[in-house]
Amino acid sequence: MQFDDDIDSQIIIQKNLRRALDESSMVTITDENGIIKYVNKKFCDTTEYTSDELIGNTHELIRSGYHPIQFYDNLWNKINSGQVWHGEVKNKSKTGKIFWCDVFIVPFFNKHGKIHEHIAIRRNITKQKKFYEDNLKNEKMITLGRFAAHLAHDLKNPLSIIQVSLENLKLLYGSDKSQQDIMEKIDRSIDRITHQVNDVLDFVREQPITLNNNKMSEIISESLDSVPIPENIKLILPKNNVEVYCDEKQFSTVFNNLILNGIQAIVHAGTIEITVEENNDGIIIQVKDSGRGIPNQNLDSIFEPLFTTKQQGTGLGLASVKSVVESHGGVISVTSPPTIFTITLPKISDISNSSKI
């Protein structure tokens, strides 16, 4: 009778352990060849496969392609030797969603001492991985920002000296056509370096916002003073002159970047059109160009720091634009083709009312 009670107690313990495991983890059981024999609900929910789709298959069904074949060879060598394998695995669900798991794979032996099945216990660590990667990325960006600011600042003085020296050379040899061509190339190179240095400084230095009522025509006019429009490009300016509550200098930099972005996108001839409208939702600014457009796969990354498709770009111009817009309580988005950058800003009355709350 005592023996039966002991068996019943062991069965209850096993049921409770299995229930606790099923509630907390993704569990699969495979045979000695890796063919899945059992999956729990949590595993099905995460992988988006049904148990019928999984049982009889192998875990190759959820491989993401991230790990090299040697990774899986080492895993199998270890569990085939009777040892427990533990590691982090990047997997892919049925619909293509990526998820990370902390995995234990335990080999089980039959009465003859041979491995006859494996139990794999997975814990979803996708959020933890993202948190770690974001923190690491932020630390790297802070370090990179300090270095870039120092480097960019140190470059400005020699660039100014080169620019002054070039202007003197133009006065001396300006009548010589061959010398003019060489100096124009040098001039363009200085402009390119200066623009890249300014991109870095605009992105890394913290600038306090000075908010005032500004006419959009004045902001665009200030921007155009530092962005020469090529003869092959027609610039269409807004017909109406909306008043915007913003930092004039910072928004001038926004237009600098967006207009320059349009110029670089137009290969031969084309147009850049700026429109400004005011409605109940706020102030809508659009900058549209007739250039080659932005590939769909790049649209989601276009505002990320250091992302660029240009050989001579820094990848910081549009990141700076996004930062300025958001610091003004606005949002920016992009569609393509044609490439249209859309900025939505709160109206003056909305900002002044919120400041009273």
pLDDT of residue 174: 65
Name the segment(s) of the chain with CATH classification 3.30.565.10.
Answer: 212-356
Higher pLDDT, 204 or 273: 273
CATH fold for the domain made of 19-124: Beta-Lactamase (3.30.450)
Q: Is the pLDDT of residue 9 over 70?
A: no
CATH, domain range 212-356? 3.30.565.10
**pLDDT tens per residue across span 159-217:** 778 878 878 777 777 677 777 778 778 877 777 777 667 666 666 555 677 888 889 88
Q: How far apart are CA 249 and CA 225, in angstroms?
A: 12
pLDDT 10s digits, 311-331:
555 566 788 888 889 888 899
What stretch(es) of the chain map to CATH 3.30.450.20?
19-124
Percent helix, strand and coil across the chain, each to the nearest 5: 50, 25, 25
Exposed, middle or buried, 321 (CB in 10 Å: 0-12/13-18/19+)?
buried
Domain 135-204, what fold? Helix Hairpins (1.10.287)
Q: Where are the domain boundaries for CATH 1.10.287 in the chain?
A: 135-204
pLDDT higher than 60, residue 340? yes
Q: How confident is the model at residue 253 (pLDDT cuts 50, 70, 90)?
A: confident
- Give the tokens for residue 59: 């875990």
